[in-house]
Amino acid sequence: MKLQLQIKMNEDLFLRNPEHTELGRNIIKHSIQLIFQNGFEAFTFKKLAEDIGTTEAGIYRYFENKHLLLIYIIAWYWGWLEYQISFQTNNVTDPVDKLKKVIKLLATTVEDDGKTIYVNESLLHQIVISEGSKAYLTKQVGEDNKHQFFKPYKDLCAVIGDIILECNPKYKYPRSLATTIIEMAHFQNFFMNNLPSLTDFGKNKAESEIILFLNDLVFSSIKKG
Partner DNA sequence: TTTAAAAGATAGCATTACTATCATAGATAA
Partner DNA sequence: TTATCTATGATAGTAATGCTATCTTTTAAA
Q: Which of residues 27-46 bind DNA (CB under 7 A)?
A: 42, 44-46
Q: Which of 119, 167, 184, 211 binds a copy of itself (CB under 8 A)?
A: 184
CB of 65 to DNA, least distance (A): 3
169 near a copy of itself (CB under 8 A) = no
Q: Which is nearer to a copy of itself, 14 or 201 (CB)?
A: 201
Long-range contacts of 197-205 (CB under 8 A, 24+ apart): none
24 near DNA (CB under 7 A) = yes
Q: Which of these ranges, 39-47, 71-79, 84-92, 109-117, lies near a copy of itself under the rule CB under 8 A?
A: 39-47
Please enumerate in sequence order all residues whose Cβ is within 8 A of that of 3, keeping only pairs 6 or more positions apart, or say none.
Answer: 115
Rule CB under 7 A: which residues touch DNA? 16, 20-24, 42, 44-47, 53-58, 60-62, 64-66
Rule CB under 8 A: which residues touch a copy of itself? 38-39, 41-42, 130-131, 133-134, 136-139, 141-142, 145, 150, 153-154, 157-158, 172-180, 183-184, 187-188, 190-191, 194-195, 197-201, 210, 213, 216-217, 220-221, 223
